[in-house]
Amino acid sequence: MTVLGIESSCDETGVALYEPGRGLLAHRLHSQIALHAEYGGVVPELASRDHIRRLPQLIDQTLAEAGVTRQDIGAIGYTAGPGLAGALLVGASVAEAMAFALDIPALPIHHLEGHLLSPMLSDDAPQFPFVALLVSGGHTQLMRVDGVGRYRLLGESVDDAAGEAFDKTAKLLGLGYPGGPELARLAERGTAGRTSLPRPMLKADHLDFSFSGLKTAVLTAYQSGHRTDEARADLAAEFQRAVVEVLVAKSLKAVERSGLDTLVVAGGVGANRHLRDELDAACRQRGWRVCYPEPALCTDNGAMIALAASMRLQAGLIDATERTIAVRPRWPLDQECVDPD
């Protein structure tokens, strides 16, 4: 069955068509980076308005690229949360309206489920069970994944998410939005260790994270005189190393404790080169597999939502009889968890 996926939870409008056995038929993405850049962050009202403007044409383009008509679509998956309420409502309304007109099911999908299943779109897809490190702008979580809809939270950030810490620190250092990729670029020119920053919760026995103190430590160092270009690059490199060290240490601990041998990394920060290099080396040393989504599918996109909807349908996990337009801006992924034990 061909599934249409719609993503509109934040500042990217994503549309894709997925079919089991054939894979991703087509996907289109519109980024709102230019729209929000002058405000230094996402303006929710502008995001919603832009999703409305873009969605119809993105859907038409995706259908045309795949050579698929509306009547060929068997189901529609859309991001129902977590995210910005107004932005989510745009995707939910378009998906539910289209599904009503075509008399097909519409499936509300959890954004993070989309992220953590996204490596399944690559040729070398991971097998269940695995441990997932979800590192996005809004979440930093370690999950045990036993199958579709079977997620158990192992640890998460008690304050800022890793991506949020990258974005806020980038802003402190005078970089543009979104800060993660910009800070990573600046870090390439710097040397870590010249200014030393803390590694929050690194030694703690639990699998939780804390990143807000790191941002404050950067601010203190910056204000105490590290303002030359070279010093900024050194601070960026040390910040990136500190975040990556903590993410890697906790991920390894999570895999080790679970007794599994596969780590899946998903979410925007998963595009970070330094994080990938360190995880690759550590997992290779232990004989573990580490899987990432294709680079283009690390950040928000419609393909992961189409895939998650398709996998839920196949697993019989969808009650598609109810037609409501409801979104959940806050939605813990493990809330509907089926306990693997």
Contacting positions for ligand KG4 (CB under 6 A): 10, 136-138, 163, 166-167, 178-181, 184, 267-269, 271-272, 299-300
Q: In what order do the strands lie in the sheet with 140-147?
A: 150-156, 140-147, 130-135, 262-266, 289-291
Contacts of 234 by beta carbon, 8 Å cutoff, 6+ apart: 190, 191, 192, 194, 195, 226
Per-residue x/- track, 51-80, Zn ion (CB under 5 A):
------------------------------
Q: Which is nearer to ligand KG4, 17 or 243 (CB)?
A: 243
C-alpha distances (whole Å) from 277 to each of 234, 256, 272, 273, 311 are 19, 19, 9, 6, 30
105 interface partner picked from ligand KG4, Zn ion, none, CB below 5 to 8 A per type: none
Q: CA 228 to CA 86: how far, in whole Å?
A: 41
* # chain residues binding Zn ion, by CB under 5 A: 2
Q: CA 305 to CA 220: how far, in whole Å?
A: 40
Please confirm whether the linkage preceding 129 is cis (ω < 30° from 0): yes
DSSP string, 194-228: SS----TTSS-SSS-B--HHHHHHHHHHHHTT--S
138 interface partner picked from ligand KG4, Zn ion, none, CB below 5 to 8 A per type: ligand KG4
Site for Zn ion in 278-337 (CB under 5 A): 300
Q: How far is the CB of 309 from Zn ion (least distance, A)?
A: 16
Q: Which is nearer to ligand KG4, 73 or 135 (CB)?
A: 135
Q: How far is the CB of 90 from ligand KG4 (least distance, A)?
A: 16
Q: Which is nearer to Zn ion, 63 or 84 (CB)?
A: 84
329 interface partner picked from ligand KG4, Zn ion, none, CB below 5 to 8 A per type: none
269 interface partner picked from ligand KG4, Zn ion, none, CB below 5 to 8 A per type: ligand KG4
Are the C-beta atoms of 153 and 135 separated by less than 8 Å? no
Per-residue x/- track, 136-165, Zn ion (CB under 5 A):
x-----------------------------
Grouping H, G, I as helix, E, B as strand and the rest as coil, residue 278 is helix
Q: Which is nearer to Zn ion, 12 or 238 (CB)?
A: 12
Q: CA 201 to CA 210: how far, in whole Å?
A: 7
262 interface partner picked from ligand KG4, Zn ion, none, CB below 5 to 8 A per type: none
Q: How many CB atoms lie within 10 A of CB 198?
A: 13
Q: How far is the CB of 166 from ligand KG4 (least distance, A)?
A: 4
